[in-house]
Structure 1
């Protein structure tokens, strides 16, 4: 077996709020409890394991590669939520879409300040 990422822990103030934010935005199934965590399963077998932690929460970056139709649906939900978004991780290009490599990508914050990215081309 080759080495693959299986899961990572996402530190958050409220795992229910954070996990539901992500699943709702990305159109994923509801998170599943596992011990003290809420597990969000992605299509490639990797999971994000949301775990409550006391502030301060160190900001991390999570990037989600998706097809064009999924990007359109996710981006529509992002707009409907009134969520600020940027074309760059430094948050300098507000309300722009990055077209790097002929695809599309945007960056936005989750409830705990983690920088999330959705994109269509590597």
Structure 2
């Protein structure tokens, strides 16, 4: 048996609003209820399980590997929504994309301070 990530819990103030925000930007189907979670299924059978949390939320980083076409669609949705994105995780290159490993990538702030990233090539795979 291989080891695969099955799910991760994403702590947020409003699980349904956060799941909706991420699903809309990524172009995924709406989240579904699973116990105390708003479960957002990804195409590789892993899921983001959004959970309401009281108190301080520490932002986490979530990176998504997408196709070139999906990248264009996601970037278009960020633009259409008037959202900010960066080529780097330090916010030094606003409204730019990076070309890491011969692909494309960008970062944006998601719900409750979580840092979201899309890449078209896995790190370490490029030319």
The corresponding residue for 1:97 is 97
Tell me the residue number matched to 1:69: 69
Which residue pairs with 2:5 in the alignment? 5
Q: Which runs of 4+ in 1 moved over 3 A?
A: none
* Aligned match of 2:32: 32
**Superposition deviation, residue 111 in structure 1:** 2.1
Match of 1:86 in 2: 86
Q: How far apart, CA to CA, are the structure 2 residues paired with 1:2 and 1:97? A: 33
Structure 1 Cα separation of the partners of residues 108 and 96 of structure 2: 12
Cα distance between partner residues in 1 of 2:96 and 2:27: 22
Extract unaligned runs of 5+ from structure 2: 123-127
TM-score by length of 2: 0.93
Tell me the equivalent position of 1:44.
Answer: 44
How big is each residue's C-alpha offset from its partner over 1:43-62, in whole Å with a ceiling of 9 and x where there is no partner?
Answer: 00100000000131101000
Segments of 5+ residues of structure 1 without an aligned counterpart are none
Which whole-Å CA distance do the structure 2 matches of 1:121 and 1:2 have between them? Answer: 22
Q: CA deviation at 1:100?
A: 1.1
Q: Give me the whole-angstrom Cα distance separating, in 2, the residues matched to 1:55 and 1:108.
A: 23
TM-score, normalised with respect to structure 1: 0.97
Distance in 2 (CA, whole Å) between partners of 1:27 and 1:94 is 22
> What is the aligned-residue RMSD (CA, Å)?
0.7
Please give the residue correspondences for 1:8-27 in structure 2 after superposition, counting only pairs within 5 Å.
Answer: 8-27=8-27
CA distance in 2, matches of 1:18, 1:57: 13
Distance between the aligned counterparts of 1:61 and 1:32, measured in 2? 22
